[in-house]
Structure 1
Amino acid sequence: MQRLAILLLLLLVGCQEQAPQTSTDADPRWVKTATLVANSAATLSLTGVLRARYETPQAFQVSGKVATRHVDAGQTVRQGEVLFTLDPSDLEEGLAAARAELAAAEASLAVAEADLSRDRQLLEKDYLSRQAFERAELSVREAITRRDAAKAREAQARNALDYATLRAEADGVLIEVSGEPGQVVGVGQAVARLAQEGPREVEVSFPAHLRPPQTGELRMGERRIPLTRREVAGAADPASRTWRARYRLEAPLEERRLGEVVQTRFTLEEASSEARFQVPVAALDERGEGPRLWQIVEGQAQPLTVSLGRMTREHAWVSGEGLEAGQAVISLGTHLLTPGMAVRPLGEEGTP
């Protein structure tokens, strides 16, 4: 009897210990959260090269052998200053030949005019036919034409001799000088490059996947100089796969050496007015019809539809309505969540 009472007592205690246990399905699931970080990659810093607005090749308008060189790279020159000269021997002979040809043409014209005057007198006395007189008139016209052509060739030869002296076409700095005495050059072959005085620009090369922005800034220590895009290359460089762009300085710049490397900064045009946020890749749930994030609303997991911008191995950049910097989202195990699931963020273990 005593043993039976003890057995009943043990059974009663066992039932009391099991009674408080309930289904774990009703307990909130502990989840890890992360905060949205506003995208700070909307700007791009690149190096640029300081250039002159006008950089013109200096070349002879006639061919020949370089006789003298009067300048060096980096030298400041004034408009009209002599840069190079060619050997003038052939040009001088060409001018002499043109002058002789002109003299011969003028002599022929004088003979034709004298013949015409005599034929006119004979025609008036009926000693010459009308046909012969007209032929004499045509001879004068032909002689005039030859005289004019010879005069033009003489002027060309004179100009060619003047072109044997290459002069600076404007004030500026010679950023490159390649011609040397004894070198034979052709018409239009550059022997120097002149950076003219005046506006300065910055040349920047952008990655092929980015279109150069319309504006930017030049960073000179604490100073910021606005930049405005003037031109963009028609195609990306096939070797470096970059876009070459020229930017105009919108403020005066103290004297700097051309070709100097400078720092520039640009706001990317592809960054839309809609804010973009950085989140861990694990926070992105791509089940269903599109990417989404999960947030905790009154202790329950609720999805947020987002648009995916770009993604790396660790982070994703998203945008969407209702997203704000500092907003908490579930960052781990999102593939196990369902709308309305009871969840509780880690870090609240000590709260009731």
Structure 2
Amino acid sequence: MQTPFRSLLILLLTLVTPMLLTLSLLAGCQDQAPESSMADSPRWVKTATLAASSAHTLSLTGVLRARYETPLAFRVSGQIATRHVDAGQRVRQGEVLFTLDPSDLEEALAAARAELAAAEAALDVAEADLSRDRQLLEKGYLSRQAFERAELGVRESRTRREAASARVTQARNALDHASLRADADGVLIDVSGEPGQVVGVGQAVARLAQEGPREVEVNFPARSRPPQTGELLAGEKRITLIRREVAGAADPASRTWRARYRLETPLEERSLGDVVQTRFTLADAAAQARFQVPVAALDERGEGPRLWRIVEGEARPLPVTLEEVGRDHAWVSGDGLEAGQAVISLGTHLLIEGMAVRPLSEKETP
């Protein structure tokens, strides 16, 4: 009886085992199918449309500067002995700012004076010899050639005395230059010299912003040439700006043009170095080339600013030039930009070129 039972059991196992294997394989495929479909499905992204800049103005920040900013330096080298001023201090013309250790300069003046005294004594001896030689010449005891030689000796001694006198003047001036004085009334915007520091001739130890006209320094984007005029916005007040100079080349690091504008009306309530708001009228071509986008749409990962657009269901980068940045929006320009063009406006730092994406506007459409 055991033999038929064993045969029946073997038959049942033979039939049931393939069925269990098939069911387990089907269950595994069902578990993996959602993950595979989720990985292959495009990501939903938020988009925004490019808006052409209707304003023909460019708003930029500028820095209030003095018309004349003079580096102050000693005319002689030496070690700084005293410092009498600090940065931001207002000074008057002729006021002592720094002094050098005068020891070496005093010794040089003493040596020059001794050299002058020696030259004067030599001149006195030469003139006395010439007077005696003249008497001998008149009596016929001295040749004409010897007398002319004596005259040349006097001229040489006189020239040596004049050279020694000039060196005394130079040494005296050098001692006077040991005190660095303000060239004009103004404000010290920078002071770098310190007591004990050894400085060379012409090495700047301070920077003086002189009293007088004030200007605004503005850096323009590389694609926008600084216009001739503009205006400074000071609350409700508008002050006309007249361009005085433009840098000869764009800054290689920031790719901006530095321009200086003269204020037509004094701005008394502001201090040097204050950041001010300016506004300039642009040419029509420059204004039409600018487009407004949300700040979040900009993407920059060391390759320059760019936007992302959807091309045939894939994310594609589009390089742009950043013209201006505000709190919520930025203004860009570049080839391939058109008004009304859709760009991805959120999460651009997560995008990869060729990634499958779909705009949320399609998801909301029934």
| Among 264, 267, 271, the residue aligned to 2:284 | 271
Contact 2:54 2:288 in 1 (8 A): no
Q: CA RMSD in A?
A: 2.2
Q: Which runs of 5+ in 2 are unaligned?
A: 1-50, 292-333, 342-366
Alignment match, 2:203: 189
Contact 2:53 2:287 in 1 (8 A): no
Contact 2:224 2:286 in 1 (8 A): no
| Among 266, 281, 284, the residue aligned to 1:252 | 266
Alignment match, 1:221: 235
Contact 2:215 2:263 in 1 (8 A): yes
Per the TM alignment, residue 120 of structure 1 is displaced from its structure 2 partner at its CA by 0.4
Per the TM alignment, residue 40 of structure 1 is displaced from its structure 2 partner at its CA by 2.0
Alignment match, 1:262: 276
> Structure 2: how far apart are the matches of 1:96 and 1:194?
34
Per the TM alignment, residue 210 of structure 1 is displaced from its structure 2 partner at its CA by 1.5
1:168 matched to 2:193: no
1:312 matched to 2:325: no
1:239 matched to 2:264: no
Q: Secondary structure at the match of 1:264?
A: strand
Per the TM alignment, residue 41 of structure 1 is displaced from its structure 2 partner at its CA by 3.1
Q: Which runs of 5+ in 1 are unaligned?
A: 1-36, 279-308, 317-352
> Structure 2: how far apart are the matches of 1:75 and 1:274?
44
Per the TM alignment, residue 277 of structure 1 is displaced from its structure 2 partner at its CA by 12
Structure 2 residue identity aligned to 1:271: D
Percent sequence identity over matched residues?
A: 80
Question: What is the TM-score with the length of structure 2 in the denominator?
Answer: 0.65
- In structure 2, the CA distance between the partners of 1:233 and 1:43, relative to structure 1 (3 Å rule), is same
> Structure 1: how far apart are the matches of 2:189 and 2:195?
19
1:99 matched to 2:116: no
Which has the larger helix fraction?
A: 2
Structure 2 residue identity aligned to 1:156: Q
What does 1:71-110 align with in structure 2 at a 5 Å threshold? 71-110=85-124
> Structure 2: how far apart are the matches of 1:276 and 1:236?
20
Aligned residues between the structures = 249
Per the TM alignment, residue 42 of structure 1 is displaced from its structure 2 partner at its CA by 1.4
What does 1:26-105 align with in structure 2 at a 5 Å threshold? 40-105=54-119
- In structure 2, the CA distance between the partners of 1:45 and 1:273, relative to structure 1 (3 Å rule), is closer
> Structure 2: how far apart are the matches of 1:263 and 1:274?
19
> Structure 2: how far apart are the matches of 1:276 and 1:130?
94
Alignment match, 2:308: none
Q: Secondary structure at the match of 1:100?
A: helix
- In structure 2, the CA distance between the partners of 1:276 and 1:174, relative to structure 1 (3 Å rule), is closer
Question: What is the TM-score with the length of structure 1 in the denominator?
Answer: 0.67
Alignment match, 1:333: none
